[in-house]
Amino acid sequence: MFTIYIDDSGSAPEHKLAIASGIIFPALQLVRLESEWNKFRDKEGFTDFHSSECLARNPKSEFASWDDAKIERVFARIRQITFKYSAQAFCIAIHKPDYKEVVPEDMLNRVGSFYTWALSSVLGLAHDWAVARSVPMEYVFDTATKDVKREIDEAMTYSEATYGDHFAGHYSFRNRKEVPALQAADLFAWTCFQRGRHVRFDHPIHPLAQQSWEAYRDADYMRWSVVQSLNRQGIEDWVKKMYSGPEDLQLKAFKEKVKEDRKPKPKKKSTS
Instruction: Dump the DSSP string for 139-154.
Output: EEEE---HHHHHHHHH
Q: First vs last Cα of the chain: how many Å apart?
A: 54
Instruction: Report the pLDDT value the prediction gives residue 158, as an integer from 0 to 100.
Output: 72
Q: Which residues, in sequence order, are bridge partners of residue 92? A: 20, 228
* pLDDT at residue 13 tops 90: no
Q: Tell me the per-residue pLDDT of 218-245, one tens digit each, with 9 for 90 and over.
A: 999 999 999 999 889 999 998 988 887 8
* pLDDT at residue 152 tops 80: yes
2-262 CATH: 3.30.420.10
Instruction: Report the pLDDT value the prediction gives residue 44, as an integer from 0 to 100.
Output: 98
Q: Which residues, in sequence order, are bridge partners of residue 141? A: 6, 173
| Nearest one of 15, 198, 194, 193 to 96, comparing CA atoms | 15
Instruction: Report the pLDDT value the prediction gives residue 264, as an integer from 0 to 100.
Output: 73
* pLDDT at residue 67 tops 60: yes
CA 218 to CA 89: how far, in whole Å? Answer: 12
Q: What percentage of the chain reaches a pLDDT higher than 90?
A: 65
State the CB neighbour count (10 A cutoff) for residue 249: 11
Q: Tell me the per-residue pLDDT of 87-128, one tens digit each, with 9 for 90 and over.
A: 999 999 999 999 999 999 888 888 878 888 888 889 999 999
Q: Tell me the per-residue pLDDT of 214-223, one tens digit each, with 9 for 90 and over.
A: 999 999 999 9
Q: Where are the domains of the chain?
A: 2-262
Q: Tell me the per-residue pLDDT of 166-196, one tens digit each, with 9 for 90 and over.
A: 887 889 999 999 999 999 999 999 999 999 9
Q: In sequence order, which residues have a C-beta less than 8 Å from that of residue 184 and are 6 or more positions away? A: 5, 23, 37, 78, 81, 82, 86
